Chains A and B, each alone.
Chain A
């Protein structure tokens, strides 16, 4: 590996000649990234030594070690030295060495080695960078988000239970790419896990993960700038992962000569730092430098610390004793004969199994990581159980819960499928009949529910931006070279747990990084993470302001609570003792086993059939509707099939006998699609089907067709449409509906319309029930952003006048001015008449929607159906935005109405916030309506990143809960994880049913 850079020596010399007085002096470049340390030593601008190693956060020790490794070279002469890298700043300060920003350094290297490079893409452990060299150097790096980086790839590989190397090899054999979000590891996990549970091929998942990294790099960093010309790829992940290289090349459509993956990819920053060191000419010698670093090992970290979890061994002893009391009777399976009951919890990352005797004694348990293939594991386990049972024990009942519920149920003929929440409640009741609060922290999800009057009263699940789950601790433990139990053990008696705050895991990642940088011990980090996980659960998921509001009798469970450090931190935070069942990790399975006791005979796969059991899976795309769900078709022994990934029943081919329930989302979507066409006497006007168009399309259609314009719509949103515009999105944290806008605009530009129309509307329609009638800033002014960030849009003719739609007169004059500029003179009278017609059209449209809403409700009442108000914004009916949740709801037996179709039926309730946005005021009225009718439930759809909904959600919740109704919120963005949504909706259904009983 030595001398990889010498090939380009000539270039280097040219630039370094005027940099240093004495180029024969040794130069040391040190690059300390978030996960690795790199060192390069040069003489005469030639690399004579290089080394790359993981530092496991022991930055100073590792650097010292690496210097000693290079002792032979460095010992006998003085040298210049500088440090770079995201974790190098603190170190440079404390040993007083020059520090240089790493992106800046990469620029230097490129100038020296590959001057015709137009773009550099560098991925590191937790950093991602793009440097543009054409048309003015511009350098971009990831901000507070560490998604789409090496750490992300590591995390995904460990989720698949393979090494990064294996994942890379698999990726090269892929046949299909699934959409996976990479903004944060947690999101991606929620995408990957269902794929695994559904049995998608690992090679496809591996490639999809790399694709997610590519998408993140392009969307998050390029931010609208096109990546073309010669692209140089640097950094560890891009050096090692051929699969990732392939994804980048294909996505960016680069030829072999355009995509350069150099040998020195990992060392570029260290090399550049060596160049910089020469410029600084800060002369050091080996002994002095090493002793400085040694001294700095003792630097007291300046970081806020928390009190230790356990002050003494005795404390811990007492604690352990108290918790050991919450156990269930066990019985040796070998001396039991009779009926038994099987409970399976096929969770997101682990599979749990419990076998009970007729007397509720535990005969057998199993708890293990899924390693990506739940079907195989359960097959193995059933074999094992049958072997242990012999002829003495029969399985009389079985039940399954969790992410893999349907798959397992179908594969093995399990009798009952149970919603997770109900399974857990059943189990918890066994330990504490008076339980009023259950908190379950599993591998990647947090669930908690309150119980009132023997029924589940409210359910909270962690949303897309989840934080502090078990797998986070696991990943972290692994990255620091520990197994979870050892890691937890380290934390128990740590003297000063580091305060990591309570935030999303990605951010916690960087907090931990900082702590490591400051030399905090592993134990203190371990304890700090446990405390953070707990705080997240309490303050972010449950959103409790006062811990006493959780409940009196609290049961905690889930694998994460097996970790004593987490349990202790939780009791600390609550200042209350809680019950942790000894079978904390098995509660779901235990609950299932209890539920299965109502069976008398089981349909579970027989011992014989199990011997021949086989399982294969392949993917297909459903053509049932425009959602085009990706289906995973699992085939079992004897040709039995199970299809998953579909939102509705259509893909199963059973549509014919299913009843079609009213669905206002579907109705509105179809209705809006009819507002296009017309004669093109004056020209063609394109309207993007995004954001506010979903509300005002009938108005614009009425106006434009009246004026003799043909109305062209950009059509339904799809992933492809999103990707079309992805390059032009400047702010990655904007909501998905806004990001989709870009693709729609580009689609219209391709259609060849005469003008594209999306006006700026500070004010929306005035429904006269609120304090004001604003649009949110994004809906109101997004055109300003589009105009500045989409190439060629201005030339196409982009009309975005500032209009006042509440006054026909002002609307007409504003619109006329804008149209005349583009299309020449249009008589004022004509525009006035068109505006009148347009407003009429809009009025009719709204009246129709309301009528339809009323008749849907009537239908539900007549047929005894439950009604679900899917409450969001008008643009949430876009099937790419709501991901077919409406169909999921109807498949569960709900009649689906939209907020705007029924909100006229209720008066505006008094709200405690400023009620000044038109769309949002409908939410409050819809909530009021739901709270007045026992057969109506409200589910609020919230776009991730919607700042306004931070305000509305609390208010909608208050309106519902103060009237004794459930509040269910679903956060949505580009990820499609219907599995989690399904659990929520089924839990809601389960809770409703339980309440009725």
Chain B
């Protein structure tokens, strides 16, 4: 349990009634459902959608400029929203999702509080939401049923994201997969609002229907180039962080593969198991982590089964497989930032046939020196046809350079594709 500062503004029970909790838009699909779950427990919540220059500007103004880009964006987005006049600043709270551990990202909450004080919003409560520990807020409690529902928000979000990405490039009617995605997000969200425990059977039914629905979208019979996106969690998922990377790739005719958010949850739980093994240090008894890990594993397997039974879509890689792929590349003890998971996801993508990978990171990201850029060479050594490009994101990097690098990667991918088909059909001389 990490308690950062003893004097933070608490989110009280009274606030629960009339305060709106603002949430940054890191993972729009998932967070939309998270909001509905929170609503079912009596909270008011809203996902921020403000983008553009003023967000970055506010971030640069209130956060140390050498801090990682995600902090600048997330905090910039909050402050920009507070300043916009769209909210009664005395009736909002901010919720920040963050990782713990030795990465500087664990300081986001304190950086946000500092920035709020500087900007004159010191009275706005901040609720930090972290899988490794939580501050005490009388008005905000993570109960087991709540956590349970949140987990389904994550699995459903992953499933929708994966299928949507597998359809959007080749759909014959533009916008059809997006419409289906929105429809399902809404439907699940509504389902989440039920008071009381959730019936897992219903969720599983959802899984099957979702897969069948996406499979029924008419798609062109072509094989687009598959491009995987891995990296620091914020710039990997957030279009605000990566300058709309997914859309760019789709426009270029590529199919995007983004390993899901559940992997990250696995990673967080698994690190506690490894800590016990390596250092004999744990916060809770080991069996709790093992239970949670196995529980989530079963849920992942149900999703994989739903995909396999109902369609030809590519399923997620089971977490055990993902973990085993690290062997010989990186130790599972690397647990700061995205740690071993980042390397694992590159391996997982290659393993499942996605050989073109964009490794995204904020400029100067410390863990990524090691788990991202530092692993590219060993990966290439053993998999000569892996095509990885590392792209840095920060407030100053212009899109031209990023696009240039990505285009180069795509050009290589296309050439590889041609070479491959050449080999299959020997030229008639």
Task: Answer yes or no: A502 CB below 8 A from chain B CBs.
Answer: yes
Cα distance, A917 to B106, chains bound together (Å)? 11
Task: Answer yes or no: A824 CB below 8 A from chain B CBs.
Answer: no
The B-contacting residues of A in range 522-562, CB under 8 angstroms, are 539-540, 543, 545
The B-contacting residues of A in range 867-894, CB under 8 angstroms, are none
Task: Answer yes or no: A98 CB below 8 A from chain B CBs.
Answer: no
Task: Answer yes or no: B179 CB below 8 A from chain A CBs.
Answer: no
Given A510-B400, A807-B279; A136-B60 close (CB under 8 Å):
no
The residue that A760 contacts in the complex, of B334, B377, B405, with Cβ under 8 A, is B334
Residues in chain B near residue A814, CB distance under 8 A = 278
Task: Answer yes or no: A948 CB below 8 A from chain B CBs.
Answer: yes
Task: Answer yes or no: A289 CB below 8 A from chain B CBs.
Answer: no
Cα distance, A360 to B184, chains bound together (Å)? 81
Residues in chain A near residue B368, CB distance under 8 A = 731
Given A778-B366, A785-B369, A912-B110; A804-B278 close (CB under 8 Å):
yes
Cα distance, A738 to B111, chains bound together (Å)? 26
Cα distance, A780 to B337, chains bound together (Å)? 12
Cα distance, A794 to B408, chains bound together (Å)? 32
Given A86-B404, A804-B281; A776-B102 close (CB under 8 Å):
yes
Tell me the nearest residue of chain B to A105, going by C-beta.
Answer: B411
The residue that B411 contacts in the complex, of A100, A141, A508, with Cβ under 8 A, is A100
A-B interface, 6 closest residue pairs, ranked by CB to CB distance from nearest: A507-B396, A503-B396, A785-B374, A788-B378, A774-B102, A804-B279
Task: Answer yes or no: A660 CB below 8 A from chain B CBs.
Answer: no
- 25 A–B pairs (Cβ distance < 8 Å), ordered by A: A141-B404, A499-B53, A501-B396, A502-B60, A514-B400, A543-B64, A730-B373, A733-B363, A733-B369, A733-B392, A738-B369, A762-B275, A776-B102, A777-B367, A778-B366, A781-B333, A784-B334, A788-B377, A802-B278, A804-B278, A914-B109, A947-B68, A947-B365, A948-B366, A951-B111
Cα distance, A517 to B401, chains bound together (Å)? 13
CB distance from B408 to the nearest CB of A (A): 5
Cα distance, A366 to B412, chains bound together (Å)? 58
Asked whether, in the complex, the Cβ of A807 is within 8 Å of the Cβ of B280, the reply is: yes
CB distance from B80 to the nearest CB of A (A): 14
Given A143-B391, A510-B401, A810-B279; A913-B110 close (CB under 8 Å):
yes
Residues in chain B near residue A539, CB distance under 8 A = 60-61, 65
Residues in chain B near residue A949, CB distance under 8 A = 66
Task: Answer yes or no: B226 CB below 8 A from chain A CBs.
Answer: no
Asked whether, in the complex, the Cβ of B396 is within 8 Å of the Cβ of A139, the reply is: no
CB distance from B404 to the nearest CB of A (A): 6
Given A514-B398, A514-B400; A914-B106 close (CB under 8 Å):
yes
Using a CB–CB cutoff of 8 Å, the interface residues on chain A facing chain B are 86, 89, 100-101, 103-104, 135-139, 141, 143-144, 223-225, 304, 499, 501-504, 507-508, 510-511, 513-514, 517, 539-540, 543, 545, 730-731, 733-734, 738, 760, 762-763, 771-772, 774-778, 780-782, 784-785, 788-789, 802, 804, 807, 809-810, 814, 912-914, 916-917, 945, 947-951, 953-954
Cα distance, A771 to B107, chains bound together (Å)? 12
CB distance from B364 to the nearest CB of A (A): 5
Residues in chain A near residue B370, CB distance under 8 A = 777-778, 781-782, 784-785
Asked whether, in the complex, the Cβ of A86 is within 8 Å of the Cβ of B65, the reply is: no
Cα distance, A910 to B146, chains bound together (Å)? 34
The residue that A143 contacts in the complex, of B335, B377, B392, with Cβ under 8 A, is B392
Task: Answer yes or no: B47 CB below 8 A from chain A CBs.
Answer: no
Residues in chain B near residue A508, CB distance under 8 A = 396
Asked whether, in the complex, the Cβ of A144 is within 8 Å of the Cβ of B398, the reply is: yes
Residues in chain A near residue B4, CB distance under 8 A = 771, 913-914
Residues in chain B near residue A912, CB distance under 8 A = 5, 110, 113-114
CB distance from A607 to the nearest CB of B (A): 52
Residues in chain A near residue B56, CB distance under 8 A = 501
Residues in chain B near residue A225, CB distance under 8 A = 377
Cα distance, A250 to B37, chains bound together (Å)? 65
Asked whether, in the complex, the Cβ of A948 is within 8 Å of the Cβ of B104, the reply is: yes
Task: Answer yes or no: B207 CB below 8 A from chain A CBs.
Answer: no
Asked whether, in the complex, the Cβ of B67 is within 8 Å of the Cβ of A951, the reply is: yes
Tell me the nearest residue of chain B to A499, going by C-beta.
Answer: B53
CB distance from A770 to the nearest CB of B (A): 12
Task: Answer yes or no: B2 CB below 8 A from chain A CBs.
Answer: yes
Cα distance, A504 to B397, chains bound together (Å)? 10
Asked whether, in the complex, the Cβ of A776 is within 8 Å of the Cβ of B333, the reply is: no
Cα distance, A540 to B65, chains bound together (Å)? 7
Residues in chain A near residue B118, CB distance under 8 A = 545
Asked whether, in the complex, the Cβ of B401 is within 8 Å of the Cβ of A947, the reply is: no
Main secondary structure of the interface of B (DSSP, over half): helix
Residues in chain A near residue B392, CB distance under 8 A = 143-144, 733
Cα distance, A738 to B104, chains bound together (Å)? 17
Task: Answer yes or no: B187 CB below 8 A from chain A CBs.
Answer: no
Task: Answer yes or no: B160 CB below 8 A from chain A CBs.
Answer: no
Residues in chain B near residue A738, CB distance under 8 A = 369
Asked whether, in the complex, the Cβ of A141 is within 8 Å of the Cβ of B369, the reply is: no
Q: A513-B400, A951-B104 are in contact. List 18 more A-B contacts (CB 8 A).
A: A101-B404, A135-B384, A144-B394, A144-B402, A507-B398, A510-B398, A539-B61, A738-B369, A762-B335, A776-B104, A778-B366, A778-B370, A781-B336, A802-B279, A917-B102, A945-B364, A947-B364, A947-B366
CB distance from B4 to the nearest CB of A (A): 5
CB distance from A882 to the nearest CB of B (A): 20
Cα distance, A304 to B111, chains bound together (Å)? 29
Cα distance, A137 to B386, chains bound together (Å)? 11
Task: Answer yes or no: B380 CB below 8 A from chain A CBs.
Answer: yes
Residues in chain B near residue A144, CB distance under 8 A = 363, 392, 394, 396-398, 401-402
Tell me the nearest residue of chain A to B410, going by C-beta.
Answer: A101
Cα distance, A308 to B94, chains bound together (Å)? 37
Cα distance, A984 to B250, chains bound together (Å)? 52
Interface centre among A511, A513, A763, A913 (most CB of B within 10 A): A913
Interface centre among B104, B119, B330, B403 (most CB of A within 10 A): B104
Cα distance, A428 to B171, chains bound together (Å)? 69
The A-contacting residues of B in range 144-168, CB under 8 angstroms, are none
What 1/0 mask marks residues of chain B from 369 to 394 whose CB sits below 8 Å from any chain A CB? Answer: 11101111110100011000011101
Residues in chain A near residue B107, CB distance under 8 A = 913-914, 951
Residues in chain A near residue B335, CB distance under 8 A = 762
Task: Answer yes or no: B103 CB below 8 A from chain A CBs.
Answer: yes
CB distance from A914 to the nearest CB of B (A): 5
Given A141-B405, A788-B375, A914-B2; A781-B400 close (CB under 8 Å):
no
Asked whether, in the complex, the Cβ of A136 is within 8 Å of the Cβ of B281, the reply is: no
Asked whether, in the complex, the Cβ of A950 is within 8 Å of the Cβ of B66, the reply is: yes
What 1/0 mask marks residues of chain B from 345 to 378 whose CB sits below 8 Å from any chain A CB? Answer: 0000000000000000001111111110111111
Interface centre among B53, B107, B368, B396 (most CB of A within 10 A): B396
CB distance from A378 to the nearest CB of B (A): 38
Asked whether, in the complex, the Cβ of B53 is within 8 Å of the Cβ of A304, the reply is: yes
Given A774-B101, A914-B2, A947-B364; A789-B411 close (CB under 8 Å):
no
CB distance from A860 to the nearest CB of B (A): 33
Given A507-B398, A802-B278; A101-B375 close (CB under 8 Å):
no
Residues in chain A near residue B401, CB distance under 8 A = 143-144, 510
Tell me the nearest residue of chain A to B397, going by C-beta.
Answer: A144
Residues in chain A near residue B369, CB distance under 8 A = 730-731, 733-734, 738, 777-778, 785
Tell me the nearest residue of chain A to B280, going by C-beta.
Answer: A810
Asked whether, in the complex, the Cβ of A89 is within 8 Å of the Cβ of B331, the reply is: no
Residues in chain A near residue B373, CB distance under 8 A = 223, 730-731
Asked whether, in the complex, the Cβ of B374 is within 8 Å of the Cβ of A730, the reply is: yes
Residues in chain B near residue A507, CB distance under 8 A = 396-398
The A-contacting residues of B in range 264-296, CB under 8 angstroms, are 275, 278-281
Asked whether, in the complex, the Cβ of B64 is within 8 Å of the Cβ of A951, the reply is: yes
Tell me the nearest residue of chain A to B336, going by C-beta.
Answer: A777
The A-contacting residues of B in range 292-331, CB under 8 angstroms, are 329-331
Cα distance, A734 to B405, chains bound together (Å)? 20
CB distance from B291 to the nearest CB of A (A): 24
Given A144-B398, A224-B377, A951-B64; A104-B412 close (CB under 8 Å):
yes
Residues in chain A near residue B366, CB distance under 8 A = 776-778, 947-948
